Amino acid sequence: MSTRRSPMAEPTTATVTFREAIRQAMSEEMERDDRVFLMGEEVGQYQGAYKVSEGMLERFGERRVVDTPIAEGGFAGLCLGAAMVGLRPICEFMTWNFSLVAFDTLINNAAKLRYMSGGQFTLPVVFRGPGGAAHMLGAQHSHALDGVYAHFPGLLVVVPSTPRDAKGLLKTAIRDDNPVVFIESEMMYGAKGDVPQSGELIPLGVADIKRPGTDCTIVAWGRMVGISLEAARTLEGEGISIEIVDPRTLRPFDAEAVLASVRKTNRCVVVHEGWDVASFGAWVADLVHREAFDYIDAPVERVCNADVPMPYAANLEKAAQPDAERVVAAVKRVCYK
């Protein structure tokens, strides 16, 4: 067992990686409720493409940890159908890029069936896997689709930024009766953090202040929280105090937490993966402009991907994505520094 327990920490807390936190959430929920099962490519025999489900086949058996063919359109639909008739599937996409093969299932079926059946069906299914750019995976395998899925009413969208949030939110997502899009990051699977071992549930739709501050609010989720924290440390040295609001879930969205922060700081920068045009970050900026209009001292800035398909070359791939330096520059602009 690779789980390491810090001697200083409380006995109910362990320092674990992001991937272990997700595995703990799935395993605990599968222990708790035998309707929960995991299905996806390489989740069983191969122990998970990114080793998230390592050991789970041995522990829960082939009936509940199910390897699939490379056919997202099929197994995503199968999971949805299983949810309609009472099971609680966890559908793993090797990456969210491949969910596009199952886009019709997610958008036309998962997002609509509760509504169109007048509530006759519950759809307790979680679609999960890594999203966003990783390292030199090329334009087709680097999509950040959080904003795309958040576009559609009927789906809940969760984008955790820490191992603790990942575990607590995934457990809640598995118990929720709505279809949940749960987007992780390959770049963060090895990141470690303290995670309660007490079965903590984190509610969907409640933001977390990742760093309190007074001069400028940064709204960031998922992998962008770490980048924003790095920028905040740089800015602290220059006398600019940053408050980082991590919504944790895009749907439902904790608008009040964002607005309360902006009303305090009067300035806002939204940092997100994905592109500028028609993005979730654009909606957040719009929300702030409308609902905190009398409190803002500068137009909301956004830091996001360059408006190009993700380049393959490492230097260009880096240049096309938000980094701490660009976040620092955007914060200075809204602070008129």
Smaller CB separation from another protein, 78 or 100: 100
Distance CA(106)–CA(91), nearest Å, equals 11
Left, alpha or beta for 78 (phi > 0: left; psi -120 to 50: alpha)? alpha
How many angstroms separate the Cα of 214 from the Cα of each of 72, 74, 114, 267, 268? Answer: 46, 50, 42, 9, 11
Distance CA(221)–CA(208), nearest Å, equals 10
Secondary element (H or E) of residue 137? none
Q: Which of 20, 29, 41, 72 is catalytic?
A: 72
- Part in contact with another protein (CB under 8 A); list of ranges 18-26, 53-61, 156-164, 313-321: 313-321
Listed in sequence order, the residues at least 6 apart from 54 whose beta carbon sits closer than 8 Å to its beta carbon are: 23, 47, 48
Distance CA(179)–CA(280), nearest Å, equals 19
Structure tokens at 283: 């909606």
Query: In the annotation, is 143 catalytic?
Result: no
CA proximity to 191, closest of 210, 171, 159, 163: 163
- Part in contact with another protein (CB under 8 A); list of ranges 12-20, 92-100, 147-155, 303-311: 303-311
Site string for another protein, 156-195 (x = CB under 8 A): ----------------------------------------
Structure tokens at 190: 């090895």
Least distance (Å) between residue 337 CB and another protein: 6
Structure tokens at 312: 């393959």
- CA-atom Rg of the chain in angstroms: 20
Beta partners for residue 268, in sequence order: 217
Least distance (Å) between residue 277 CB and another protein: 5
- Part in contact with another protein (CB under 8 A); list of ranges 68-76, 106-114, 182-190, 306-314: 306-314
161 touches 189 (CB < 8 A): no
Smaller CB separation from another protein, 4 or 135: 135
Size of the site for another protein (CB under 8 A): 27
Least distance (Å) between residue 266 CB and another protein: 5
Least distance (Å) between residue 258 CB and another protein: 16
Query: In the annotation, is 317 catalytic?
Result: no
CA atoms within 13 A on the CB side of 160: 31
Q: Which of 28, 54, 141, 200 is catalytic?
A: 141
Based on the shown chain and the rule CB under 8 A, indicate whether residue 246 belongs to the binding site for another protein.
no
Smaller CB separation from another protein, 112 or 264: 264
Based on the shown chain and the rule CB under 8 A, indicate whether residue 144 belongs to the binding site for another protein.
no
Among 215, 243, 246, 301, binds another protein (CB under 8 A): 215
Residue type, 71: A
Based on the shown chain and the rule CB under 8 A, indicate whether residue 290 belongs to the binding site for another protein.
no
Among 297, 314, 318, 325, binds another protein (CB under 8 A): 297
Q: Which positions lie near another protein, rule CB under 8 A?
A: 214-215, 239, 241, 264, 266, 276-277, 293-298, 306-309, 311, 313, 316, 319-320, 333, 335-337
Q: So which residues are the catalytic ones?
A: 72, 141
